[in-house]
Structure formats: C-alpha cells, structure tokens
Amino acid sequence: MPHKGSYLSIDSVHFCVAAGYCVIVRRPMDEKDAGFVEGQVVLRTASPMDTDAVSILLEISYSHLLRRSYDSNTLELALPYMVKANPMLLASGTYYVAEAEPGTLVGCGGWTPEKPGSGEIVEGEAHIRHFAVHPDWIKRGIGTALLTRCIADTRLVGIHKLHCFSTLNAEPFYRASGFRTIGLIDVRMGPTIAFPTVLMQREIL
C-alpha cells in the first residue's frame, strides 16, 4: 500500500495518492523527442457541476474513436444513450475527470460497486464505468492514469475483482492493464439496440 503522499509510477503516469491529483508527463520516446515537455494534467474527483463538460467529452470521444470498430448505423442508434453524463456517477465520489486546464476535460472514467444497468452489488467486486479520452489526447497516458487511480482506490477499500464492459476498440487498452477477456456480450440500450461490447475482468491483489 502506498504511503501517504507517495507517488506511483506506471509508464508515463505519476500520481499522488493522498492529494488526489495526477500529473501526466510525456517522456522522450527517442532522441528526436528529447527535451520535449508536456503540460500538466490534473486528475480530480468529478461532481454534478461537470455534467455538461463530461457530456461534451463523451460525445467527442465516442463519435470519433468508435468509428474504428462499429458501423455508422450502430453508432447512430447507440450514441444518444452513451454520451450523456450519468448523474449517479458524477455524484459517486469515485468518478474522475482529467483536466488540461480549468474547464477543459481531456478524459473521464471511474468505478462503482453497483453493476451497470441492474445496480446489483456483489461484496468484494466493482465495475469500471464510462471511460473516455479526447481524441487529441490519446496515447498520452490519460486513460492509464484514470484506470490506475480506479485500481488503487478499489484495492484500498478491499475490492478483489474488477469488471468492465469494454468497447471493441478499447479491449487492448484494458488487457494491457491486466484485464482478461471473458467474452463478447451485447449491452441493451433502449428497446431495440444491442451494442456489442467485451466483458473483461481483473483480479486485484
């Protein structure tokens, strides 16, 4: 368990557990990148005041990035259900936003003990919820920082298993963070939409 005020380091991610913020640093990938300095990104707990900004981020992220894995008809039907910020998540205390500057969100995501859809709670288990990264900020450690924060949080409260309904294109991202694929599953959205996702799980040791 990290000591109070200590920093965890995962690839390009550093965050202070006690203070509750995150600093993303883009490390040089090769000689031509040497000396490049990335700005700070603050990771903070979301609140209901972030509703509009989170909804905008979800729409920009999903409408752009999901095109790689889903056909246009599926997205046209599903996106209206996917891009609205969830009031319960924003008030949960376990949903986070990555902020490049005040009011400018570049990532979001969190966890809850409640299962999406049913609200079912199983002791010792939790669920990754509503992750998104702005298309201009992918591959900079934003998603990893958010997921690392969630894993650290769940470990501290005794969670031993995380579940995730991943989009098709996000499966490699979750696998790189220790999740294993259980299988394909359709998530119901509205009366007629079955949105293809990947059920994934990760043990918390």
Domain range for 61: 7-160
Please check the confidence at residue 18 and state whether its pLDDT lies above 60.
no
Residue 138 lies in a domain: yes
User: Collapsing DSSP states into helix, strand and coil, what is residue 64?
Assistant: helix
In tens, the pLDDT along 54-64 reads 999 999 999 99
Residue 128's φ and ψ, nearest 5 degrees, are: -75, 135
CA atoms of 116 and 127, how far apart (whole Å): 8
Given a contact cutoff of 8 angstroms between Cβ atoms, the answer to whether 106 and 133 are in contact is yes
Please check the confidence at residue 191 and state whether its pLDDT lies above 90.
no
Predicted TM-score (pTM) of the model is: 0.81
Q: Could you tell me the pLDDT band of residue 26, with boundaries at 50, 70 and 90?
A: very low
Residue 98 lies in a domain: yes
In tens, the pLDDT along 107-165 reads 999 999 999 988 899 999 999 999 999 999 999 999 999 999 999 999 999 999 999 99
Within its chain, how far is the Cα of 199 from the centroid?
15
CA atoms of 44 and 13, how far apart (whole Å): 15
Residue 190 lies in a domain: no
Residue 75 lies in a domain: yes
Sign, CA torsion 108/146/201/159: negative
CA atoms of 142 and 133, how far apart (whole Å): 7
First-to-final CA distance of the chain: 11
How many domains, the chain?
1
If one counts every other C-beta atom within 10 angstroms of the C-beta of residue 122, the result is 12
Lookup: tokens for 67: 């095109």
Burial class, 143, CB count within 10 angstroms (exposed 0-12 / middle 13-18 / buried 19+): buried
CATH number at residue 37: 3.40.630.30
Residue 68 lies in a domain: yes
In tens, the pLDDT along 63-100 reads 999 999 999 999 999 999 999 999 999 999 999 999 99
Eight-class DSSP state of 114: B
Q: What is the pLDDT of residue 186?
A: 94
